[in-house]
Amino acid sequence: MSKSTTIKNLAIIMDGNGRWAKERGLIRTQGHSKGIETIRNITIYGAQHPELESITFYAFSTENWKRPKFEVDFLMKLLEKHLEEEIKTYQKHNVRFLAIGDIQSLSKPLQKQIKKTQDITKDNKNLTQILALNYGGRQEIVSTVNMLLKEGYSTISEENISKNLQTPYSDIDLLVRTSGEERISNFLLWQLSYSEFYFSPTYWPDFSKEELDTIIKNYKTRTRRFGGLK
């Protein structure tokens, strides 16, 4: 097996919570609650995987503020509760938690819980779970460039940007999006430059570790050329 097909950094666009709920006669927020369980299951799978170092979940985009206020408020409270409850899971499976995005615009209780969870899990080594919260890929690149300019850089290189992005890993090996949609929705634009993509028809609440295992096996049969011929 080619070394290029190893998988270290996985990114997931979790899509389909609302449609999953609608098809079952439920309200959208019930789809989000069910989706939280899937995050837990996939994180545990990642912590046990021999190659994976990180999984970045697209949890809340900068565009998600356009949703109805009651849904946004529910998501903020759900994420806060989830992080508080997940500390036991993170510690049991040796998972480090990180959040990326414009965290300062989130609710104060959620900001406090994010910091607490990051502090408690900072030395865990099996896997880094990254939640993208109030995140946009274009915004991340603009912010990084502005920060470098502020620090006095007159010329900015790809290496400068890669080293100063919010994500600790500048390249994603594989992006998975659920629910059958085939777009990246302003997610990790810099980090996805040479990533492999897989679009699953499964709604996020029904996505399983078994399906992810099959997707990773498919990925490992691919040849990644990074713009070259070999």
The catalytic position among 9, 17, 41, 64 is 64
Reference 99, options 64, 137, 58, 46; nearest CA is 58
Q: Report residue 140 CA to chain centroid gap.
A: 14
**Average pLDDT value for the chain:** 94
pLDDT digits (tens, 9 = 90+) for 158-170: 999 999 999 988 7
Using the structure block, give the residue that is written with the tokens 């880094």: 128
218 is catalytic: no
9 is catalytic: no
pLDDT digits (tens, 9 = 90+) for 202-211: 999 999 999 9
Return the pLDDT at 140. Answer: 96
pLDDT digits (tens, 9 = 90+) for 66-101: 888 988 899 999 999 999 999 999 999 999 999 999
Reference 105, options 145, 61, 74; nearest CA is 61
Return the pLDDT at 3. Answer: 47
Please, which pLDDT band fits residue 130 given cuts at 50, 70 and 90? very high
Please give the Cα distance from 4 to 11 (Å, whole number): 17
More confident residue, 3 or 54: 54
Prediction pTM value: 0.93
Residue 186 has pLDDT above 60, yes or no: yes
Please, which pLDDT band fits residue 43 given cuts at 50, 70 and 90? very high
Please, which pLDDT band fits residue 14 given cuts at 50, 70 and 90? very high
Residue 61 gets which letter from DSSP? E
Across residues 129-149, what is the average pLDDT?
Answer: 96
Across residues 39-56, what is the average pLDDT?
Answer: 98
CB 207 within 8 A of CB 36: no
Residue 1 has pLDDT above 70, yes or no: no
